[in-house]
Amino acid sequence: MKPTSLLAILIFSFFFSSCGNNRKPKNNSEDIQSQIIKIENPSTPNSQTPRLFSNGNELYFSWVTTENETDFLNFSILKDTTWSNAETIIEGKDWFTNWADFPAIAESNGNILTSFLQKSTNGKYTYDVKLNLYNATTKEWKKNILLNTDGTQSEHGFVSIVPNYGGQFFISWLDGRNTVVKEEMNHENGHHGGKGAMTLRGAYIAENGEIINEKELDNRVCDCCQTSATMTNQGPVVVYRDRSDKEVRDISIVNKENTQEWSKPKTVFDDNWEIEGCPVNGPSIASFENSTAVAWFTGANQKQKVQIAFKKNDKIDFGIPIRLNVKETLGRVEVLMLNENEAIVTWMEFDEEDALVQVMKVNENGAKGEPLTISRTSSQRSSGFPQIELLDDTIYAAITIVSDKKGSSIELYKIPIEKL
């Protein structure tokens, strides 16, 4: 063989081998997507507003079913891959059932606390927060506990519940007692007094259902965005959408450390989102020991974003927000923490006329996993807010599916953490 021919073969072989080695590996997103599995759940048709809570051993699932103008608050418990029989806690014809302001559920040392909203008058936004408490010792429910005892016919809602020590609970909510027009007349101009602002309040619920240590946490907040609470090693922490005198509605945080007084409200990050009305898009907070993560939606500067920020216990402030959404987003976020550095976030993005429920793993250093689609649903308000929880190295997601023909139903999915 001629030397030139041998050289040509070697060169060809080198380039062929190099090209093969430089090929990008086949995208495994389809393989990962296939790991998102829809599972059976105990809800029935005409159900909505799912809520999930995990104590590490069991997954608590609550939802509302509507039949013949009656609302039923139900729950079931998943343990060892098996659901308990669905149980109706309470029912009523005078509830305020809303896509954004939905019942909460939590467990503490076997005790279970749930919430729902009951109309106080025929007004559109006049309703109270009612609680139902299951006592693990007596094995009985104490129902219809009135949380807000101000006696005003105003808006109360957007409840968050987290377990506290000794079988108790901490609860946060929005309270409209100051929004009621004062009855005193202004004799100079003949007008009634002005309205106050929506407030944020917090309290503890004892094992017997007693409401203790109730306190106003912020005297002016956004009217209809969800609150979100978590319990760190140092005490409860609450995030919510605040409201300044100039109608800037960014996310604020308050906390109670080492059983001391509540902190003053502090902004998580200055988005400076100035908006006249409530966007109905609250934040979500989660914690791991004393590290916390907050996810939220903002429309500041006409740019819709879903963001997450982390804070370690030894830090005063949260880190710079990490943007998550790729497409135009509806927000509707939920977050949970895997460890002190990583979190799982869900949110909704537009996809033509529908919406995609997205999930992603995020590291506090800014590293992000690939966004995966859990499910497709309606972009209407009635599709509500997706919920996620962690149990046995698996993420569980509950989603309201809306159909023009079939109404609403709830789908549950599970995703192995290792696949995110």
Tokens 């409840």 belong to 159
Q: Which of 17-26, 136-145, 160-169, 272-281 has the lowest mean pLDDT?
A: 17-26
242 vs 314, more confident: 242
pLDDT exceeds 90 at position 34: no
- C-alpha–C-alpha distance, residues 141 and 363, integer Å: 41
pLDDT exceeds 80 at position 64: yes
Q: Going from the N-terminus, what domains does the chain have, and what CATH number goes with each? A: 37-419 (2.120.10.10)
287 vs 407, more confident: 287
In this predicted model, what pLDDT tens digit does every residue of 342-401 receive, in sequence order? Answer: 999 999 999 988 999 999 999 999 999 999 999 999 999 999 999 999 999 999 999 999
Per-residue pLDDT at 181:
67
Q: What is the DSSP string of 184-204?
A: -EETTTTEEPPP---EEEEEE
| Contact status, residue 117 vs residue 98, Cβ threshold 8 Å | yes
In this predicted model, what pLDDT tens digit does every residue of 78-123 receive, in sequence order? Answer: 999 999 999 999 999 999 999 999 999 999 999 999 999 999 998 8
Q: Tell me the β-bridge partners of 262.
A: 256
Per-residue pLDDT at 315:
81
pLDDT exceeds 70 at position 193: no
Q: Give residue 221's pLDDT band: very low, low, confident or very high (50, 70, 90).
A: very high
Per-residue pLDDT at 184:
36
Non-local (6+) Cβ contacts of 167 within 8 A are 108, 109, 110, 111, 136, 207
Average pLDDT along the chain: 90
Closest CA to 204 of 255, 163, 254: 163
Non-local (6+) Cβ contacts of 235 within 8 A are 255, 256, 257, 258, 259
pLDDT exceeds 90 at position 340: yes
- C-alpha–C-alpha distance, residues 137 and 155, integer Å: 34
Per-residue pLDDT at 148:
98
In this predicted model, what pLDDT tens digit does every residue of 377-391 receive, in sequence order? Answer: 999 999 999 999 999
pTM of the complete model: 0.90
Closest CA to 49 of 99, 1, 117: 99
Q: Give residue 28's pLDDT band: very low, low, confident or very high (50, 70, 90).
A: low
- C-alpha–C-alpha distance, residues 403 and 376, integer Å: 11
CB atoms < 10 A from the CB of 85, how many? 7
Tally the C-alpha atoms within 13 A of residue 124's C-alpha that lie toward its C-beta: 0
Per-residue pLDDT at 5:
44
Q: What percent of the chain shows pLDDT beyond 90?
A: 81
Q: What length is written for the chain?
A: 420
Per-residue pLDDT at 188:
34
How are strands ordered across the β-sheet holding 127-135? 105-108, 111-119, 127-135, 140-146
pLDDT exceeds 50 at position 24: no
Per-residue pLDDT at 259:
66
pLDDT exceeds 50 at position 194: no
Per-residue pLDDT at 29:
66
In this predicted model, what pLDDT tens digit does every residue of 281-300 receive, in sequence order? Answer: 999 999 999 899 999 999 99
Reading the block at residue 276, the tokens are 């006249």
Per-residue pLDDT at 2:
41
- C-alpha–C-alpha distance, residues 295 and 226, integer Å: 12
Q: What is the DSSP letter of 242?
A: B
In this predicted model, what pLDDT tens digit does every residue of 321-331 receive, in sequence order? Answer: 999 999 999 99
